Amino acid sequence: MKVSFPYMGNVHHYYKLMKLLGHEVIMPPRPSQRTVDLGVKYAPEFACFPMKVMLGTYLEVIEMGAEVIVSSGGKGPCRAGYYGETQRAILKSLGHDAQLIIVDGPYIGIRKLLKIISIIKGKNSWRRLFQIGTIIYQQMKYMDELEKQIQIMKAHEVRRGDCQRAWNKIVEIFDKEDTKEGLDKAYKLSKELLSSIPLHPVEDHQRIKVGIVGEIYVVMEPSVNLNLEDFLGSRGVETERSHYISEWVEANLIPKSYRKDDFHERIQQKGERFIEIPIGGHAKETMGHIVDYKERGFDGVIHLMPFGCLPELVSQSIMPSVMKDLDMPVLTLAIDEQTAEANVYTRVEAFIDLIKAKKFEHNIKKEEVAFV
Ligand code: SF4
């Protein structure tokens, strides 16, 4: 079975799960202008931007021979609940018979879920599926942890590009491993690699930390958010995203009783201060993460929303009171096929200047008080 997936952040590194299960994997290309053009051409005009980019990717992988596409997005009160059906109808109307499988955790019902898992499982035993799933999940956790470290280090690297080169090497090291021992070794090697990167010394009170929140696709996929994390890193800003794939898997695919951490629930609870009920997408988490970043001493938040995204429009509309209540600067950026790099970078530069001024003015005042 020739299987493919949408491209989102680092997720393509974990498609080896399908290889280990004996499927042929068609690696999706990184979203490009062509991907966006294809999605925009065939999706309804008012479809969400992530849906258009994913549709473009599906069309590209079908051209490359994909027979089955495994994706997510089948639940929720926003448009995500109808993504799969719409995309299926579009592919069919274009004469493609590739099967589109939507995986979205146990919420879709146990029968449907078992049916999907048995297609993915192929001829492997349940035990083998569990073993491979556990290994891939471990790899996600290791790589997400390393990436978080790199997002901090990038802001202070002496030679520009060292962290990116190290990340490329880390990806290579992990790609070769498919056992628990191999992953442990890869993690150790990666840690050593990172500790060899020279960094500018920086005092704790001089660090500028920005959280990136919003809809999962635009937060995680650098080709649609214009490599925002790299840009911020190059300006000396440490970043952390509200979405990492290991956390998504933990929150959506692992039953509550097996989870080691209740991080997702804690974030949701923190979000209830501003949005009480689930309204779809990641709006409640967006709020929860902003509260969390405030509690952890971050200096600002960049809120990414696909243009027209209903849940994030709600977040945006209450953002002024969130900023006031938390005393936290937030910059909202709407992303779609019209988004221009110069526009985004100019606004982000201005935002960085603002949070630096706020932080250092605050520090100066504190020092004055201490001196008095
Ligand atoms: S979260 Fe936003 S972008 Fe995603 S499907 Fe829902 S409305 Fe669309």
Which pLDDT tens digit goes with each residue over 34-50? 999 999 999 998 889 99
Query: Which residues of the chain fall short of a pLDDT of 50?
Result: 369-372
CB–CB of 314/271 below 8 Å?
A: no
3-state secondary structure of 371: helix
> What pLDDT shows up at residue 370?
47
CA distance 352 to 320: 18
Between the CA atoms of 231, 233, 235 and 237, what dihedral angle is there, to the nearest 10 degrees? Answer: 120
pLDDT at 75: 65
Which residue in 298, 285, 279 sits closest to 232, CA to CA? 298
> Distance from the CA of 316 to the center of ligand 1, in angstroms?
14
**Cβ(229) – ligand 1 distance below 6 Å:** no
| Helical spans, DSSP H, in 122-244 | 126-153, 162-175, 180-195, 216-220, 228-234
pLDDT at 372: 39
Q: How far is the CA of 78 from the centre of ligand 1 (A)?
A: 6
Helix, strand, coil percentages for the chain (3-state, nearest 5): 60, 10, 30
State if residue 215 touches ligand 1 by the CB under 6 angstroms criterion.
yes
What tokens appear for 165 in the block? 């080169």
The rounded Å distance from CA 76 to ligand 1 centre is 9
In this predicted model, what pLDDT tens digit does every residue of 262-275 receive, in sequence order?
888 999 999 999 99
pTM over 0.85: yes
Question: CB neighbours (10 Å) of residue 354?
Answer: 14
Substitution site in 242, 310, 313 for ligand 1 pocket (most atoms within 8 Å of beta carbon): 310
Give me the sign of the Cα torsion angle 10, 126, 116, 279. negative
Buried b (16+ CB within 10 A) or exposed e, 197-226: bebeeeeeeebbbbbbbbbbbbbbbbbbbb
| Ligand 1 center from residue 34 Cα (angstroms) | 22
Shortest-distance Cα residue to atom 5 of ligand 1: 80
Residue 298 per-residue DSSP state: -
Q: How far is Cα 275 from Cα 77, in angstroms, rounded to an integer?
A: 15
- Enclosing H/E stretch for 255: none
Q: For ligand 1, atom 1, name the residue with the nearest CA.
A: 281
What integer pLDDT is reported at residue 243 of this predicted model?
A: 95
CA of 211 to the centre of ligand 1 (A): 20
Q: Is the CB–ligand 1 distance for residue 80 below 6 Å? A: yes
pLDDT of 107 reads: 64
Fold observed for domain 207-371: Rossmann fold (3.40.50)
Topology adopted by domain 2-124: Rossmann fold (3.40.50)
